Structures are given as structure tokens and as C-alpha cells.
Structure 1
Amino acid sequence: MKHVSLISALAVAGSLTFVTPATGPAAAAADDNAPIGGTLLAGRGVVVDPAAKRLPKTEASAFVVADADTGEVLAAKNPHGRFLPASTLKALTALTLIPKLDKKKMIKPSQDACNVEGSAVGLTPHKIYTVEDLFRALMMVSGNDAAVALAEANGGLAKTLADMNTEAKRLQALDTVAKTPNGLDKPGQSSSAYDLALIGRAGLADPAFRKYVGTKVANFPAPKGDHYQIANHNRLLGRYPGMIGVKNGWTSKALGSFVGAAKRDGHTIIVTVMRHEGSFWPEVQDLLDWGFAARGKTTPVGTLVGPAPTPTPTPPAAPPKAAPAVSKPADAAGGSPVTGPAGVTVLAVAALGGLAWLGYGMRRRRARRD
């Protein structure tokens, strides 16, 4: 009775939603108006299976814990709430541009790219960087300058932002709007804990993406043929068992955000947090631990959906076929034309020939008069 009372009180308060047979993912699938991932992901409170182990505390305004292998969302808080993504948006930048750019291509950044504010790898306007170097700088040290240089290599900021937003729609990350390639705050830019999980999961399926986010230390080109070392900003990489990546972010307006994944015993768990006022690293570890303990043992509260199906182009309608020419023998009375091998009417040719001969004769007569 105490357990029932507690559930009722939390439900009335709107802070916690539990999975029941009437509200589980199967029921959500039947609701055409449900948000991406399922009906239970529509609210702002915490949603979790009541049979699951108690969730660890987190100060994040939104979070998602999901099984990357199955796509099952194991627990969430305000998963579709739209927030400034800060540098976690760079995961979308990398996912969008990796297939488009040759990793060995040499890049000369513009002065504008080199002067971008915030975290930077320290680019100079020299043609000493490969695309691969810039992706390392983007995902390891959160180089805002590297993000702009990559956008320039892709044809410019406008084209790159259009490509990023197209990729977000393809992934069904519909809470995400990219206004910059580096995540620096800009009006209208947004993402959600759910979308970051979609983007992170898609990134992990790309071997190049996975390599960039999982590199701990790398050499980075400097002028005059020198190099210097850069180190990954992900504090859990190499410290948390099985940590893969992906990306952390922070600005004074967005506060702390994170999308990351770890793998243990052949299974991968994704955790995302958004708008965290303090240090989220210990809480991310606790959420990952909880996810590994909960996977396969709790009823999921939603699903990380797959990419939207590519529409099949409709083939153009075939033009109407011309009626075939029919050859007929000349009528005894001379009323039926005969069609030649090239579709030319023999009577017309004969008539034209006669006119030509008549014209020739008239010219001869005129010549004689002159």
C-alpha cells in the first residue's frame, strides 16, 4: 500500500512517470501524435520502469539513458526539451562532413576561421592541415576554429549548415536546428537529449567518427614542419571502463552538456545530459553504471528511432508512342498516297519534283528572254 501511495503521489506531482501495460512502447506505437520515440517521452519529468533499480541523481535539466544496440530508451528526463547544445553539436558536424570530405585533402584555413572565439586548436592560415587533422581537433579538443575550417572545405558555412540540418532531419532528430558548425550560442539553435542520443548512436556506427572521438592523444601540425600534442577533453576516456567517447560541451548560456557511450561485455550504453550547472562527469558515470545494470532487465520507456526512409523517386511517365506509319498501294483512281521507307509520302515527293522541274523550265525561258 505504501508503494502504491508513493507512485500516486509522484504521478500527481508530475515529476516521475512509470511504465504500465497501458502506457508502454507498444501502446505508444499506436498513437500517431506521439513524439519521436514514443508517447512516454513527451513529458518533462523523469520516466522509468518502476521495477528498475533506483536512478542515480543528476542536476541535468534533461537526460537520456539508452541501449545503443537495441535502441531501447531505458530512462529519460525531459528528453525532447530543446536546449542550446554547445559543443555537443560538433558530433552532428562530424557525422555530416566525414562522408563528404577526403581525409587526406590539404586545407588552408581562412583568417576568419583562425580567429573564431572560444575553444580552439590554434590554427594558422597555412596549408599544413589535412581534413583528418581538423576532425581530430574538432572532436578531441573541441576546436571551434577547426569546425569553421571544415565548413569552408565543404563549400562554406551556408552549405554546411544546410547539410547539417538535412542530416538531422534524416536521423529524425527533429528538435535539432544548427545555426553554427561549432555549437557557439546563436538564436534559434537547439537540440535535445533525445536527439543527441540519436546523433551519437549514428556516429558510433561510422568507424572514422568512432576513431576520432576515441583518440586520447595525437600530434597536430604546427608551422615550419613542427608538431604539438593535443589531448581529448573527455575526462572519462581511459578512466571509465569501456568508454568510447563522444563529446562534451559548455557555454555560459547552454551550461554543461554531454553525449557519450561506453561498451562492456559486448553491449553499448549511451548517456546524454543537457543544461547541467556543475560538473556532470560523476553523474554521467553513475548513469552509465545504471544503464549497464538495467539493460535487458527493465521495460524500456521509448525507442531511439532509425533514420527516416529515403523516398523512392517516381520514374517519369513514358512519352506517348507515335502511331506507326502504314504503307498502302496507290488507289486506282489516284486518291491514296504511298508512304516511303523514311515516312516520306511518295506523292508529295513526286509533286515537289514536278514543281522543281516546272521552276527550272520557267527560269530557262526567262533566260532566253534576257
Structure 2
Amino acid sequence: MWTKLVSTTALLTAVTLAGPLTGAAHAAPTPPPVGGDSLGSRGLVKPAGIKAPPKTKATSYVIADHETGQVLAARNAHGRYLPASTLKMLTALTLIPKLDKDLTVKPSRNAVNQEGSAVGLRSTPIYKVDDLFKALMMSSGNDAAMALAETNGGLDRTMADMNAEAKRLQANDTVAKTPSGLDKPGQSSSAYDLALIARAGLANAEFRRYISTKTAKFPAPKKKFYEISNHNKLLWRYKGMIGVKNGWTSKAQGAFVGAATRNGHTIIVSIMKHTGYFWDEVPELLDWGFTARGKVTPVGRLVDPLPVQAPVQQAAPLVSGPAVAPSGTSAAQPLLDHAASEQTATSRTLGSAAIGGGLLFGLIWLGYGIRRRRRSRL
């Protein structure tokens, strides 16, 4: 009888905790665009009372004030496109804090044989991590990108780290599938995200050093060196240019992020899916940004990174023997509390009735069983 009582009560409780008996689930509302509602537009968004930014063949772009994070103008800021080698900014930003720059690395054959742009690595232990970051950000070396990923513990771990860093920055349009930016299905970024990543990178002294170096000596076998140069042409052409990164593939087309300083202020320009030669257009967009900053109402903003999560405290080790709930509580209480939090007003009322009915039914059967057992002993 006692077994039947427990089974019946448990069944009634399980039915009650199953959730609402009526009503359909409502779809979650679409979150607003990161950085402001105006940045959700696919067309040009500019402040009032000022001439529009110069024309560009870029499908998407953002012009932003580095210090304040204000977005001064944009076109299709959150449009998702292939990032090409501009994704190397995220690779560098993710791995610089993780890797000892003085560590000596022997690149694998896989790293040495990466397709596309390369710095010319050999599978010999002659490279410092510092050299590989120069190759990554100056010469856009896909071989250096893979060598750094392998030094970080492997490709899978590095991709997980890069995507976690993108989420921390709130670069939610960005999905990294390669450390180099080589095209891969599912990989994406946006002009908004590239500006976010660049802004975060500029706050890192090592990142800033790599992107602003024009030329450097690079190790070669037999204790020799050769010179590498930065692929960012504007380091030589535009006064005040700091960096950051250019990229191109046949599918992504042209992509570029540039940051320059004038009179103590820095402007960031990011462009994506450019169909032609952008080296003459970016300076005009930067000039427009310097003219507009501090004089117009921004159309959005570059959001700040999310706070770093504190390490999760490890649970106390399990002790053998039956679990004991704290005094005055039930071991099932956390489950009941969670289920109660999921109830609607209707299901909560029905659930209370069902639990009450189930308990009352169980008590009646318990009393009946006890009386029968007493009579059988007489």
C-alpha cells in the first residue's frame, strides 16, 4: 500500500511540474542591433546638418571615434560578410595575452604549407612568438596564423578562444572558423564588429606595436634574416596612420580597417566587400571622420567589452552516504523551486490544486492502510 501511495503521489507531482496546461509559447523578441537602433539599417546612416561621407565602393562601412566610441556614420554596419585577413586582428587580440612572446617555436608542416599569403616559414625552431605576430599583422602570413594557433594548443582550442573573445567584445556578427581569415563556410564578421575589434586592439600596447611597424628583420635558416614590410599602404601615405589590417580574397573581395590620429584624436574606419581599389577612398573617409567628430550627433556607438567572468567556484567533493538536506528543507526543494518559477498564473493555480489533491489522497490512503494493519494484528 505504501508503494502505491508513493507512486500515485509522485505521478501527480510529475504531472503538475510538467508546465502550463494551456497557452502557446511565445517567440522571444528580436534583440535590438548592438550599438543602437539606427545601425540596423542597411542603407547610409549619417548625422543631420553635415555633408554625407565621401562615396565608396564598399558595401558596408563604419566611421567611429576611438576615444568616445561614437559611430559617426555607417552603411549596413551589421551586414555579415567574409572578413578575409582582417580576421587576423581577432587572432592577435586573442593570443597576445596567452603566449610568451619570447617562446621559440618550430612550425609544423601543416603551418608551413598554408595556402594564400605567407611570410615563408620553415619547419625549424628559429622563430620567436614575437616574430610570428609580426608576420601575422605585417605580412598577413597565413602560415604564421596557423603556427600561432598550434602554439596555443591547437586549432580547435584557438577557434574556441577567438569566438569567446568575440562574444566578450560583443562582436556578435563574428564567427571565426580559421585563424588566418581564409574563406570557410560559416565564417563571418561585420564592419561594426571589425571596428569593435580594432578599438580593443588599440588599447593593447603589443597589438599596437605590431600593426604600426613598417619594416622588420625576420629570421631565416642558418642564422640569417630577411626584411618584411607591412602590407598597410596607408602607413606610408596617410599622416597619422597607426594601422590596422587589410584583407582580400576572391569571395570576400576587399576588406580594410584603418586607424589614424590627428591632434590627439583617433578615428577608426572599417570597410567590407569593396569591389575595387580602396586605398584612395579610406583616406577620404578618415578625413570626413576628423571633420565630423565632436560636432555632430552620433548615429550609434561602439559598445564596451563585457566584464571578464570570475572563475566558477568548484563544488565541494561528494561524500559517500545519503544526501542530507539542510534543516527545515527538502532534498527535492530546488527542483520544486525551479518548476514553480516556470509556471504561469493559470498553471500555478492548477498545479496547486493538483498537489493539494494528491497529498490529500495520499493521506487518506495512508490512514486507511495503517488502520487495516492494526486490525490485522488484533
Shift of 1:314: 7.5
Amino acid at match of 1:45: G
Task: Choose from 160, 169, 179 the match for 2:158.
Answer: 160
Q: Secondary structure at the match of 2:119?
A: coil
Say yes or no: does 1:139 pair with 2:137. Answer: yes
Q: Secondary structure at the match of 1:95?
A: helix
Task: Choose from 116, 119, 131 the match for 2:117.
Answer: 119
Shift of 1:311: 4.2
Task: Choose from 234, 237, 240 the match for 1:236.
Answer: 234
Alignment RMSD, CA only?
Answer: 1.8
Which digits, 9 at most, give the CA deviation of each residue in 1:12-38, with x for residues without a partner? Answer: xxxxxxxxxxxxxxxxxxx99321000
- Given that residues 46 and 52 in structure 2 are in contact (C-alpha distance below 8 angstroms), is that contact kept between their aligned partners in structure 1? no
Tell me the equivalent position of 2:262: 264
Q: Distance in 1 between matches of 2:133 and 2:278?
A: 25
Structure 2 vs 1, CA of residues 224 and 292 (structure 1 numbering), >3 Å: closer, same or farther? Answer: same
Shift of 1:309: 2.5
Structure 2 vs 1, CA of residues 79 and 225 (structure 1 numbering), >3 Å: closer, same or farther? Answer: same
Q: Distance in 1 between matches of 2:311 and 2:243?
A: 37
Q: Distance in 1 between matches of 2:315 and 2:86?
A: 46
Tell me the equivalent position of 1:39: 37
Tell me the equivalent position of 1:67: 65
- Given that residues 96 and 163 in structure 1 are in contact (C-alpha distance below 8 angstroms), is that contact kept between their aligned partners in structure 2? yes
Tell me the equivalent position of 1:367: none
- Given that residues 132 and 148 in structure 2 are in contact (C-alpha distance below 8 angstroms), is that contact kept between their aligned partners in structure 1? yes
Q: Distance in 2 between matches of 1:271 and 1:254?
A: 18
Which digits, 9 at most, give the CA deviation of each residue in 1:177-221, with x for residues without a partner? Answer: 000000000000000000000000000000000000000000000
Shift of 1:55: 1.3
Q: Secondary structure at the match of 1:247?
A: strand
Q: Distance in 2 between matches of 1:257 and 1:287?
A: 14
- Given that residues 120 and 143 in structure 2 are in contact (C-alpha distance below 8 angstroms), is that contact kept between their aligned partners in structure 1? yes
Amino acid at match of 1:281: W
- Given that residues 171 and 306 in structure 1 are in contact (C-alpha distance below 8 angstroms), is that contact kept between their aligned partners in structure 2? yes
- Given that residues 53 and 290 in structure 1 are in contact (C-alpha distance below 8 angstroms), is that contact kept between their aligned partners in structure 2? no
- Given that residues 123 and 145 in structure 1 are in contact (C-alpha distance below 8 angstroms), is that contact kept between their aligned partners in structure 2? yes
Structure 2 vs 1, CA of residues 161 and 317 (structure 1 numbering), >3 Å: closer, same or farther? Answer: closer
- Given that residues 63 and 267 in structure 2 are in contact (C-alpha distance below 8 angstroms), is that contact kept between their aligned partners in structure 1? yes
Shift of 1:310: 3.2
- Could you say which structure has the larger radius of gyration? 1
Q: Distance in 1 between matches of 2:258 and 2:92?
A: 15
Q: Distance in 2 between matches of 1:312 and 1:227?
A: 44
Tell me the equivalent position of 1:190: 188
Q: Distance in 1 between matches of 2:218 and 2:92?
A: 18
Q: Distance in 2 between matches of 1:168 and 1:316?
A: 26
Q: Secondary structure at the match of 2:237?
A: coil
Q: Distance in 1 between matches of 2:91 and 2:210?
A: 13
Say yes or no: does 1:285 pair with 2:283. Answer: yes
Tell me the equivalent position of 1:305: 303
Number of aligned positions between the proteins: 292
Q: Distance in 2 between matches of 1:269 and 1:97?
A: 25
Per the normalisation by structure 1, the TM-score is 0.76
Identity of aligned residues (%): 67
Which digits, 9 at most, give the CA deviation of each residue in 1:218-243, with x for residues without a partner? Answer: 00000001100001000000320100
Q: Distance in 1 between matches of 2:237 and 2:69?
A: 25
- Which structure 2 residues correspond to residues 354-369 of structure 1 after superposition, within 5 A? none
Q: Distance in 2 between matches of 1:39 and 1:122?
A: 45
Tell me the equivalent position of 1:107: 105
Structure 2 vs 1, CA of residues 285 and 107 (structure 1 numbering), >3 Å: closer, same or farther? Answer: same
Per the normalisation by structure 2, the TM-score is 0.75
Which digits, 9 at most, give the CA deviation of each residue in 1:157-196, with x for residues without a partner? Answer: 0000000000000000000000000000000000000000
Q: Distance in 2 between matches of 1:171 and 1:110?
A: 31
Shift of 1:297: 0.5
Q: Distance in 1 between matches of 2:314 and 2:176?
A: 35
Q: Secondary structure at the match of 1:238?
A: helix
Q: Distance in 1 between matches of 2:170 and 2:224?
A: 43
Tell me the equivalent position of 1:355: none
- Given that residues 107 and 127 in structure 1 are in contact (C-alpha distance below 8 angstroms), is that contact kept between their aligned partners in structure 2? yes
